[in-house]
Amino acid sequence: QVQLQESGPGLMKPSETLSLTCTVSGGPLSTYYWSWLRQPAGKGLEWIGRIYINGNTKYNPSLKSRVTMSVDSSKNHFSLKLSSLTAADTAVYYCAREVCPTQGGFFESWGQGTLVTVSS
Amino acid sequence: SYELTQSPSVSVSPGQTASITCSGDNLGEKYISWYRQRPGQSPLLVLYQDVKRPSGIPERLSGSNSRNTATLTISGAETMDEAVYYCQAWHFNKVIFGGGTELTV
């Protein structure tokens, strides 16, 4: 069974760039799409974007100008960079595996999430 | 922009049937997925492609999707079903989530 684990700093300052990594175990990166999502405390889920093993990406238009995703198959992990942070980016960040992207893609496996706080 | 609308809360007595709805324009033309999120936990996929259950999800959870409304139905609700439920769909290259419905049993 695939497992996903997010890692990265828990505290960031405004205007900085967040870097998170999701390490995948129990399965290959290939043949799946890999996504980042986030959830502010007490609020709903927001999709940030996804990446495929060949590097193809798709980002949420509302975040596109600040998001960069990458994948490293040799390390079995994929990464998120989010620039120009503000307090509004404070949230739990999840990585997830997406299945059936052409038939109503859905997220069948999730990481445990990592809290990122943006504060001066 | 496209939105998925869910009622903020639903309350049922144990053993009763809970219906959680998700509405959006022409939603029946899209595939809907549902997630359960208990406090302090990651979301868990409970239904996908409108009606399919992942391994380990009990048969008393079922789904439908027609016209402008998708419904997650939980038969014989149990206290373990208490959680926030989110619907999700793709709309023009973007993933959309409903605002979530808190189910109280």
What integer is the mean pLDDT of A103-111? 93
Do the chains contact at A108 and B45, CB–CB below 8 Å?
yes
Asked whether the beta carbons of residue A47 and residue B95 sit closer than 8 angstroms, the reply is yes
- Find the residue in B nearest to A94 (Cα): B42
| Residues in chain B within 8 Å Cβ distance of A22 | none
User: Does A5 reach chain B within 8 Å, measured CB to CB?
Assistant: no
Length of chain B: 105
Q: Does A101 have pLDDT greater than 80? A: no
Q: Which residues of B touch A (CB under 8 A)?
A: 30-33, 35, 42-45, 48-50, 54, 86, 88-90, 93-100
Name the residue among B20, B24, B46 with its Cα closest to residue B35. B46
- Which pLDDT belongs to residue B60? 97
- Non-local CB neighbours of A65 within 8 Å, separated by 6+ positions: none
Residue A110: partners with Cβ closer than 8 Å, 6 or more residues away: A4, A94, A95, A96, B42, B43, B44
Band (A108; pLDDT cuts 50, 70, 90): very high
pLDDT of residue B59: 97
Shortest Cα–Cα distance, B89 to chain A (Å): 7
So what's the pLDDT on residue A100? 81
- Binary contact (B94, A100; C-beta < 8 A): no
Strand order across the B18-23 sheet: B5-6, B18-23, B69-74, B61-66
Alpha-carbon span A57 to A77, nearest angstrom: 15
- Could you tell me which residues come within 8 angstroms of residue A76 by beta carbon, excluding any fewer than 6 positions away? A23, A24, A25, A28, A29
Q: Which two tokens stand for residue A111?
A: 């990481």
* Backbone phi, psi, residue A112, to 5°: -80, -15
Say how many CB pairs under 8 Å bridge A and B. Answer: 60
C-alpha–C-alpha distance, residues A65 and A59, integer Å: 9
CB A49 within 8 A of CB A105: no
pLDDT tens for A15-51 read 999 999 999 999 888 889 999 999 999 999 999 999 9
